[in-house]
Structure 1
Amino acid sequence: MTNSYSLELHLPVGPDQVLAAIHSPTTWWSEGITGPTADVGDEFDYRYGTVHHSRIRISESSSERVVWLVLENEFGFLEGEDEWIGTRCVFDVAPTESGTVLRFTHDGLFPHFACYDVCSQGWDHYVGSSLVAAITDGRGTPNAKGTARTSYEASLPSD
């Protein structure tokens, strides 16, 4: 049993629609993501100003699971910027009678980490709200330069 950050969502759409949205993180996480995000081996950069930068590789992709491996990480807001390095963002997708269950786990993001509160609030928004909106309404709420989406982002000076 892991105590990594995890979130389970029940969505009224099929798994293919969920997977398509996961592979389009610019529509729900950050418009500033650069690089390919669809296939195993693809690497992309996430950047939100000077607050957070990560380099991520898609290490697994199937009809049931997408896994992102964090290769590099830098936080501009606290010590412990290496806390994400080697962690995995796991999207497990399973069909149900009424749609799809999506279980997101940031495997290796533990409550004792310095970034846990900020990062879990971020995932609550970006996966729990923005990804859901991208899937169900076709329009998520990703961040972009000058568009803070979480209370923590809003508390920082814009760059």
Structure 2
Amino acid sequence: MVDILHRVGITASPKEVYDALTTIDGLAGWWTRDTTGDGEVGGVIRFRFEAAPPPSGFDMKVLAAEPAERVLWEVVEGPGEWVGTRIRFDLKQEDEYTIVLFAHEGWAAPNEFMHHCGTKWATFLMSLKKLVETGAGEPAPDDVRISNWH
């Protein structure tokens, strides 16, 4: 198994970052505007992308939501490479920054789609940073296009 890993510092409190990771409005503000569902532990959050080929999004079951510390999802619907993987956001305070340690864990192999997703996660994590720091992120469909896969 292989993982996508990123580290991003956001000049905001861990609570502000946590809220952007656990509320539907927060998630829609940095990942995709078409976000619905329940961000509580045991709930499922649905993320849809208008330009994507079928399946056009992901359903995430919320496994953990520890205020200002950690968010953990399991992919329960989406592209085959994603189903069963886990997405983790660990938060910690360092000076004026909240450090987000991001992991998309459990990929079967480092294929081309994983490379694409690693780059897209980086762009969306920068959108998260921008949302929390300025009030306006760049969620899909306004995200950075990196290839014909979007």
Taking structure 2 as the reference length, what is the TM-score of the superposition?
0.85
Q: Residue 48 of structure 2 contacts residue 58 of structure 2 at CA under 8 Å; is this kept in 1?
A: yes
Runs of 4+ in structure 1 off by over 6 angstroms are none
Offset at residue 21 of structure 1 (A)? 1.1
Structure 2 residue runs of 5 or longer lacking an equivalent are none
Q: Residue 30 of structure 1 contacts residue 143 of structure 1 at CA under 8 Å; is this kept in 2?
A: yes
- Cα distance in 1 for residues equivalent to 2:13 and 2:143: 30
- Cα distance in 2 for residues equivalent to 1:88 and 1:45: 15
CA RMSD between the two structures: 2.0
Aligned to 2:78: 73
**What residue identity is the alignment partner of 1:71?**
V
Does 2:30 align with 1:28?
A: yes
Give aligned-pair identity as a percent.
Answer: 24
**Paired residues, what number?**
143
Q: Residue 66 of structure 1 contacts residue 90 of structure 1 at CA under 8 Å; is this kept in 2?
A: yes
Aligned to 2:116: 118
Deviations 1:84-108 (A, max 9, x none): 1111110000112223111111012
Choose which of 137, 146, 149 in structure 2 pairs with 1:151.
146
**What residue identity is the alignment partner of 1:57?**
K
- Cα distance in 1 for residues equivalent to 2:84 and 2:123: 23
Structure 1 residue runs of 5 or longer lacking an equivalent are 75-81
Aligned to 1:140: 137
Aligned to 1:106: 104
